[in-house]
Each structure stands twice: as structure tokens, then as C-alpha cells.
Structure 1
Amino acid sequence: MERLVTCHLDFDNAAQLPADGKICGAILGMLRNQQDRDSLPRYLETLDTSEAGSAIGNKTGALNRVRNDVAIVSTKSGPVVIAAFTWENADQRWTGDNEAEQTLGKLAKAVVDRWSPQGLDAKAFSWENPLAKSTPGSKTAAP
């Protein structure tokens, strides 16, 4: 997830390529527009993100006793990457009320409250192209 935020796609730490910005943007767009909001985004964002778009791009994963989620959260303090994994969960319900999903949501809320008490800002990060300059008045997410 950090590589997507910084758009460093080459594993040998070579310089970022300008063309990679659109590739990262396409992947981030998929993460930002996915529909499962029961884990990390749960307590961070309201359902109505129509005006500015979501400030969160995430990917969930689950098995009967496993609930996982990784996310990029665009905050007023800059992008925050969270990766959280649970296992051996007693609660195996396939609903948003699953205890592990609620716990992941509480974890994300605690992280964001601590690292960005000012809250979220969907426009502080260039979702379409992390290599592009960020929105005026916000922090630059990547060079």
C-alpha cells in the first residue's frame, strides 16, 4: 500500500516513472470505490462521499475465522497506511456486526484520531495520480 501511495512500483528502488502515476491512480481508484466499508472505514467516514469522494481506499479479505483489511486513508496530516489482520475469530458471522470487523474499525479510528486529529481530507491526496502535485492548500503526498 505504501508503494501505491508513493507510486514506487519498481522493487529495486529505481526512480519513479511519470507513466506509473496513472497506473497507481487506476489501482487507487479501484480501492477507493470498492463497496465493503464494514472494517477499517467503518467509524472513519460517513456513507455520503458523493461531493469530495471517499478519503479511504481499502481492500478487505475474509475466511470463516479471519477478517483482514488494508487501507490508504487521506487525512489532513497526509496519507496514512493501515494494514490489520485478525485470525482465530470466534465470531464467524458474515455480517457487518462481526466482532473482528468492528474491532478493525475501532483500530482505524484510534490510528487516525492519533495521527490526524484534524480528521480526513479526500482532496489532500492525489488519488488519480500520486505523482501529480496535490490539490492547492494541501500537503504533497509524493514527489
Structure 2
Amino acid sequence: MLGGTSAINGMLYVRGNKRDFDNWAALGNPGWDYESVLPYFKKAEGYRGPPLGETEEYHGRSGPLTVVPKTGEHLEFTSAFKHAGLQLGFRNIDPSGPDQIGELFFPPHLFNTFVQYSMPLDAAMPMKGRHLMVIAPLTAT
């Protein structure tokens, strides 16, 4: 496999917990509190889903990271877990919103594609067919 985890994972888009950022600031790292880093998250995010209601202000719509919500059918067991959680009083949350305690089964994904995406492979494709010199004790095929 060429590359790392972008070739094998679900490319989920989930931010760190607000409390972690606030704790880093409290430990003497000014500018690392959640309110200070939130503008950068919003600037990077290009959310392409429907309006998010009360959590809309926590999202960016024009950033370079295309973020799309999960669409289509959910697996049967996942739907059962979600239903059970709601019966127990858990709320379905926006993982990038202000309150990250609740129930979340399908976080949004990066890139609006249904194919596996590999950053290194994407970068290497324009070089296809080039004659490369390998300076290492290995074989290039």
C-alpha cells in the first residue's frame, strides 16, 4: 500500500473535544482555548450538508476541507444502537458543536466521493510513467 491511513480509514471529520483545548490553555498555553482555535477550524471546513440549525455557527462553508454528512441507509445494528440510545435519553449530537456529550453514529466525512482516497497515491499519479532513479538498496518494479 502506498501511503498511510487516508487509504484505509473512513476519512471521518471530527474535531478534538472543547475541554481538551480549554485545558491546554489553562496549563499555560495562551491561544489554545477552544474559542481561540474555533475560527481556524471554521476557516478550514467546507461543510456541504444541509443547514445545521443551532450549531451552524460552529461550521465553515467555504474552506478547503470538503466535509459531507453521511447519506444513505444505516446498518441494521447501528440503527438499533441509535434507537436504544435515544430511548435512554441520549441526544444525537453534532460532533463539531459546542456540546460533545451525546450519541453520534455517523460523523461527517472528508471529500464528497464514494471511492477510497489516498493522499500519496493522488500526489504520485501525475508522475506515472516517469523514469525515477532509486538510491537505496531495493528493487523498483
Q: TM-score range by the shorter chain?
A: under 0.3
Pick the structure with more strand per residue. Answer: 1
**Structure showing greater Rg:** 2
- TM-score scaled by structure 1? 0.26
- TM-score scaled by structure 2? 0.26
